[in-house]
Amino acid sequence: MGKDDDQIGVVAALVRSTFLVNAVYAESGREHGLTSQQGQLLCVLMAQPYGMGELGAMLGLAKSSLTGLVNRTERNGLVRREPDPRDSRAVRVALTAEGGSLAEEFYAETCRRVEQLTAGLRAPERDTLAGLLGRVVLDNKVPAVFLEPDEGASADRSR
């Protein structure tokens, strides 16, 4: 490839790391009876209910794709639509009790598996990786689609 066998460039590293994380979502999802997109939706909703427009922006989905995702997840009893208190014409999507429980299980398993991806790194290397990736995420204003593991454990899911 032109570089040392154990080094790849930043573009390839970032793109290939997305494949790793997507594979984790897919594997965790299969074990919990979810698609990876349903798992992502549940993880986003762990923080709070969101309007459809907000969810579309956070998940990067077109309106029709998001509607289908929410419809399928709602039919499975994992989310519900509720009136938006700020706009009587709009709805917010929230976790049901069953969805909250499944979200917690899926989230914990996904966190464990993502953490394992860095098992070969020493603690200072992991801190450096987190700092650099965190800057990339913040500089590009990526929405908070996944809570920090300690936030996920304490997020209020009693909706």
Q: What's domain 10-154's architecture?
A: Orthogonal Bundle (1.10)
Q: Which residues contact 148 (CB under 8 A, 6 or more apart)?
A: none
What's the rounded Cα separation, in Å, for the pair 93 and 41? Answer: 10
pLDDT of residue 20: 94
pLDDT of residue 135: 95
What's the pTM?
0.81
The pair of structure tokens assigned to 152 is 């996920």
| Averages of pLDDT over each 10 residues, the chain, 159 residues | 70 94 93 93 94 92 94 97 89 96 94 94 95 93 78 45
pLDDT of residue 151: 58
Domain range annotation of the chain = 10-154
* Alpha-carbon torsion (153, 156, 158, 159), positive or negative: negative
